[in-house]
Chain A
Amino acid sequence: MTPELQQIVYLSFILMLAIFLGFELIAKVPATLHTPLMSGSNAISGITLVGALVSAGAEQTAMATWLGAAAVTLATINVVGGYLVTDRMLAMFKKKSSGGAQ
């Protein structure tokens, strides 16, 4: 096997395990929390920010820098906005006993 082929197999292996893990984790989330789950997992998809940081900083061509900077901005909105709004929602979920009203 060429090194690249080996790399592909290795990455696919990780992908497969992560998908299974994802199904196991998320199938157990009750319907009550589906909206926070969605906005929370959407914030996680902002992990693309890490990729964007590498592209923005790699000091290659001007074009790559521009693309990277735009990607960092968009991904940051996704991450910061996503986590904050999820927190805002979850803060509203209250149990009866904990003095429910207001």
Chain B
Amino acid sequence: MSSAVIINFAYIASALAFVFGLKMLGSPATARKGNALSAIGMLLAIVVTLLDQQILTFTWIAVAVLIGSVIGVLTARLVAMTSMPEMVALFNGFGGAASLLVGWAALFGGEASSFVAITIVLSVLIGGVTLSGSLIAWAKLSEKMPGKAITFKGQAFVNGLIVLTLVLNAIWFVQQPVGDSVYLYAVIGVSLVFGIMLVIPIGGADMPVVISLLNSYSGLAACAAGFVLNNNLLIVSGALVGASGIILTNIMCKAMNRSLANVLFSGFKAVKTSTAKVEGEIKPINCEDAYLVLEAASNVVFVPGYGMAVSQAQHVVRELADHLENNGCQVRYAIHPVAGRMPGHMNVLLAEASVPYDQLVEMDAINPQMDQVDVAIVIGANDTVNPAATEDQGSPIYGMPVIQVANARTVFVLKRGMNAGYSGVENPLFYKDNVRMLFGDAKHSVQTIAGEFAA
């Protein structure tokens, strides 16, 4: 058997490992094994590729793999769970950059047909957009640059010009595809600029959408590189990743009741302002009284937001939950799909605090049961529980599905002050009859209540 045949059989095995690995990611019980299976598939693909006779410069590869592994291991070990979105964004960018370079390097392999030239342009273009877009997303998420939408006059015109330049240079390049083509340099440069332009007008609250979209792009870039190299495994794996990114993007968009186009271009539009008047009065409560209510409760739902995770309050929340459970109370956590900075981020943050995953309930599952809940405790969440989304047609978040905490018998809102949330929208929830405001640092408040239980 020739080595090409062996390699291709091994690639089939790798593809199978990826498929089953992803399938096993469908349940928390098997997910870890699934991830390991997928990693084994990757290892197999890499090892057999190295067996290929074409490969002669092992020194290069060894050095490059060593450097990459050290960086990879260190980042994976050291990253804080709250910074997971930044890290995924950065890794997406690296994946995109690698695909860009692979496409480019393939040009030096000899004559490129028009088809190969087109796929090279695609992998360079998608890779470039993924790289610079991801770097901007990383900078925004890690607050190295302002998180809000950046717009300027004539932005649409500039973007149109960028697309035109890209198309023209791509066409010129395909007509004469050589490695040092100025047109290719132009495509690389302009696609990097394009990636930046795509992400700067997107505000912080929409970041989960951007992250999953970039994830999809990094898959598509690998897919395009697969076409360049005529490699099935790259095409299949790239398509799997591309599909996963698209699905998550779609889920995020639905959770915010917006279309993808709306998220991508919302920075260009004026923000709607609500005209609705909020009526009623704020009713504060202190920790002692909150404890008395909780002590009598038999069904409590926590509604956590990103604010809780940033202040690392999830650990004391779990402590309070343990006390409640020892007291014979059913405890659950209601998770809004866009809580956190990337899809499913809140689940990871709670898992870090050893919250059992079977207590995490998705929005659609908890909402119909809300009226049987004794106490809903809102911590650091604001927009995802805002009843204006269902009641006030003039509100900018109108139509967004929210966790209907107001249907619970009693609601505690833990908050520092009366500031509006991330979206800057006033929250009529605070004025409802069954809502009590527990002002102060959430971590401290929860700790105090937990202390009452322990006493």
* Interface positions of A (Cβ within 8 A of B): 4, 7-8, 11, 14-15, 18-19, 21-23, 25-61, 63-65, 67-96, 100-102
- A57-B61, A76-B72 known; 20 new pairs, CB 8 Å cut-off, are A22-B239, A23-B243, A32-B360, A35-B84, A38-B244, A38-B248, A40-B22, A47-B234, A48-B99, A48-B238, A51-B222, A51-B228, A55-B101, A65-B60, A67-B101, A79-B72, A84-B72, A89-B84, A92-B352, A93-B32
Contact between A93 and B28 (Cβ–Cβ < 8 Å)? Answer: yes
| Minimum-distance CB pairs A-B, first 3 | A76-B68, A22-B243, A34-B344
Contact between A69 and B244 (Cβ–Cβ < 8 Å)? Answer: no
Contact between A38 and B240 (Cβ–Cβ < 8 Å)? Answer: no
Residues of chain A with a CB closer than 8 A to B91's CB: 39, 42-43, 77-78, 81-82
For the complex formed, measure the closest distance between the CB of A17 and the CB atoms of chain B, giving whole angstroms.
8
Contact between B106 and A55 (Cβ–Cβ < 8 Å)? Answer: yes
Residues of chain A with a CB closer than 8 A to B69's CB: 76, 80
CA distance A29 to B180 in the complex (A): 44
**Chain B 236-258 near chain A by CB (<8 Å), digits 1 or 0:** 11111111111110010000000
Contact between B115 and A48 (Cβ–Cβ < 8 Å)? Answer: no
CA distance A34 to B360 in the complex (A): 13
**How many B residues face the partner with a CB closer than 8 A?**
120
Closest-by-CB residue of A relative to B227 is: A11
Residues of chain A with a CB closer than 8 A to B219's CB: 41, 44-45
Residues of chain A with a CB closer than 8 A to B63's CB: 69
* Interface positions of B (Cβ within 8 A of A): 18-19, 21-23, 25-29, 31-32, 34-36, 38-39, 42, 45-46, 49-50, 52, 54-58, 60-61, 63-65, 67-69, 71-73, 75-77, 79, 81, 84, 87-88, 91-92, 94-95, 97-99, 101-102, 104-109, 113, 115, 179-180, 211-212, 215, 218-219, 221-223, 225-248, 251, 318, 322, 335, 337, 340, 342-345, 347-348, 351-352, 354-360, 362
For the complex formed, measure the closest distance between the CB of A48 and the CB atoms of chain B, giving whole angstroms.
4
CA distance A82 to B42 in the complex (A): 12
Interface of B is mostly: helix
Contact between B343 and A47 (Cβ–Cβ < 8 Å)? Answer: no
For the complex formed, measure the closest distance between the CB of A22 and the CB atoms of chain B, giving whole angstroms.
3
Residues of chain B with a CB closer than 8 A to A96's CB: 356, 358-359
For the complex formed, measure the closest distance between the CB of B16 and the CB atoms of chain A, giving whole angstroms.
11
CA distance A31 to B276 in the complex (A): 34
Q: Known: A48-B98, A83-B39, A83-B42. Is A73-B64 also a contact (CB below 8 A)? A: yes
Contact between B87 and A33 (Cβ–Cβ < 8 Å)? Answer: no
Residues of chain B with a CB closer than 8 A to A79's CB: 42, 68, 72
Residues of chain A with a CB closer than 8 A to B229's CB: 51, 54
Closest-by-CB residue of B relative to A90 is: B32
Contact between B65 and A72 (Cβ–Cβ < 8 Å)? Answer: yes
7 contacts between A and B (CB under 8 A): A21-B239, A25-B19, A39-B91, A47-B237, A48-B221, A51-B229, A83-B35
Which listed residue, B54, B76, B345, touches A58 by the CB 8 Å rule?
A: B54
Contact between B35 and A68 (Cβ–Cβ < 8 Å)? Answer: no
CA distance A88 to B268 in the complex (A): 39
Contact between A50 and B46 (Cβ–Cβ < 8 Å)? Answer: yes
For the complex formed, measure the closest distance between the CB of B411 and the CB atoms of chain A, giving whole angstroms.
23
CA distance A11 to B231 in the complex (A): 9
Closest-by-CB residue of A relative to B94 is: A74
Q: Known: A71-B101, A85-B79. Is A41-B22 also a contact (CB below 8 A)? A: yes
Residues of chain B with a CB closer than 8 A to A78's CB: 72, 91, 94-95, 98
Residues of chain B with a CB closer than 8 A to A71's CB: 97-99, 101-102, 105
Contact between A44 and B241 (Cβ–Cβ < 8 Å)? Answer: yes
Q: Known: A32-B360, A36-B25, A47-B45. Is A22-B242 also a contact (CB below 8 A)? A: yes
Closest-by-CB residue of B relative to A66 is: B105
For the complex formed, measure the closest distance between the CB of B21 and the CB atoms of chain A, giving whole angstroms.
7
Q: Known: A36-B348, A57-B55, A85-B76. Is A31-B362 also a contact (CB below 8 A)? A: yes
Residues of chain A with a CB closer than 8 A to B235's CB: 11, 14-15, 18
Residues of chain A with a CB closer than 8 A to B222's CB: 45-48, 51
Which listed residue, B19, B98, B247, touches A46 by the CB 8 Å rule?
A: B98
For the complex formed, measure the closest distance between the CB of B334 and the CB atoms of chain A, giving whole angstroms.
12
Contact between B73 and A81 (Cβ–Cβ < 8 Å)? Answer: yes
For the complex formed, measure the closest distance between the CB of A73 and the CB atoms of chain B, giving whole angstroms.
4
For the complex formed, measure the closest distance between the CB of B59 and the CB atoms of chain A, giving whole angstroms.
10
